[in-house]
Amino acid sequence: MITIYEKTAKTFDTFGLGALVPSHCVVEEELNGAYELELKHPYDDGGKWKRIERGRILCASTPRGMQPFRIYYVKPTMKEIAVNARHIFYDLLDNQCEPISHSGTAEAALTALQAAFAYPMPFIFDTDISLTGTLATGRMNPVQALLSDDDEVTSFVKGYGGELLRDGFRVSVKAALGQDRGVSIRYGKNLVGLEVTEDESEVKTRIVCYGKNGSVTLDSPHLGDYIYPKIYTLEDENKTLSEVQAEGQKLLDEGCDIPSINIKVDFVAREKTVEYREYAVLEEVFLGDMVTVINTKMGFQKQAKVISYEWDCLLEQYNDVELGDFIPTLAASVTSGVKSGSLASSAAVGTAAVMAALQAHLNDTNNPHHVTAAQVQG
């Protein structure tokens, strides 16, 4: 059920202004990235569509339960209203932090960040990160102070690491958001609804180690999988050869000799295929979880993280899940709150033209949705 609340709502355990009857409602979330809702609502005879206004808050199902999303874009068309909303976390975009210079624990850094707000907000910040580090920012909004990858800024995630769990007005920065639930999948080729990308541009199969007392070469068991050895030099004249060798072995143990992998599973496309059951285990994972990926063709396996998903809020199930080796590079959309490819950035018809056509349609007294211009423009 999708419910809607007034702009000032802080709790969402009632029906608020009431339930909506959307024909389409999906949530997309990226690890430390965009968190958006897209909704389409018909002009229902009961007039529930009239409750939709910019700034109001939608409460919708997600893999981790009901979550609030603030409406920032409304586009009426002839047959329905299209809506974009951001997770309530992005209310932080409106605030500003004074410059921060902090060295110490992660918990103290979050306290310093919140103390730098231009005005108080009802957010609660916490972390389970035990490391010490640095937070150094200029004047910027709190989302940038948390997530920015600007070279001139040491944001929280740059200084301490961490993955965000956004739960209503609570922002938890976890050392690792997910867990290994023992899920594994096998693949050998692209199939219907399964998009696999492998990238060997950073692969290293031969590591030549140089220390202050000699050198040694470490060869990967996957050396023969490639046309040529992929040589990487590891050199430190201030360390013993055994120390440098240990660093080289660690790189191999961490999988530097295996291509990076990105896998996107489209459950809607796969549900009618015979292989669906094999990948259905991914319906039980959450953002940030680790999944063992086994390449049956090349004979290797590695861990991949759930880095994004699309969730059908009406059916309460995944539309797709994406696995990858790393957190996607933070784009402008992360710290601006505008998701590329969203309804908000794909409007092809001028607002004035749409409103004029819609008003003509609604002015028709034979139309059961007949309303005034003031009602349409809210």
Q: Convert the pLDDT of each residue in 249-260 to its tens digit.
A: 999 998 899 888
Tokens found for residue 64? 């981790």
Question: Mean pLDDT highest for which of 2-6, 328-332, 369-373?
Answer: 2-6
Average pLDDT, the chain: 84
Q: What percent of the chain has pLDDT over 90?
A: 62
pLDDT of 340 over the 80 cut: no
Q: Which two tokens stand for residue 130?
A: 């035990």
Report pLDDT digits (tens) over 107-164: 999 999 999 999 999 999 999 999 899 999 999 999 999 999 888 889 999 999 999 9
pLDDT digit string, tens, across residues 60-115: 999 999 999 999 999 999 999 999 999 999 999 999 999 999 999 999 999 999 99
Q: How far apart (Å, rounded) are the C-alpha atoms in residues 155 and 316?
A: 34
CB-based burial label for 189 (10 Å; 0-12, 13-18, 19+)? exposed
Average pLDDT of the residues in 209-236: 94
Query: How confident is the model at residue 154, as a pLDDT?
Result: 92
Higher per-residue pLDDT: 298 or 142: 142
pLDDT for 282 equals 78
Residue 276 binned pLDDT confidence (cut-offs 50, 70, 90): low
Report pLDDT for 299.
67
DSSP H helices, the chain, are: 106-115, 142-147, 156-160, 241-253, 267-270, 276-279, 332-336, 351-363, 373-377
Q: Which long-range contacts (CB under 8 A, 24 or more apart) does 152-158 make?
A: 156/106, 156/109, 156/110, 156/113, 157/32
Partners of 40 in beta bridges: 24, 82
* pTM for the predicted model, two decimal places: 0.77
Percent of the chain with pLDDT over 70: 79
| CA–CA gap between residue 304 and residue 376 (Å, rounded) | 47
Closest residue by Cα to residue 291 from 274, 275, 305, 277 = 305
* Cβ partners under 8 Å of residue 92, min gap 6: 121, 123, 141, 142, 143
What is the structure's pLDDT at 378? 41
Whether residue 349 is predicted with pLDDT greater than 80 in this model: the reply is no
R_g of the chain computed on alpha carbons:
25
Give every CB contact of residue 314 below 8 A, 6+ residues apart in sequence: 2, 22, 24, 25
Tokens (6 digits) for 82: 């299209």
- CA pair distance 40, 54, nearest whole angstrom: 14
How many helices (H) does the chain have, and how many strands (E)? 9, 21
217 - beta bridge partners? 208
Decide which of 23 and 261 is more confident: 23
- Check if the beta carbon of residue 205 is closer than 8 Å to that of residue 226: yes
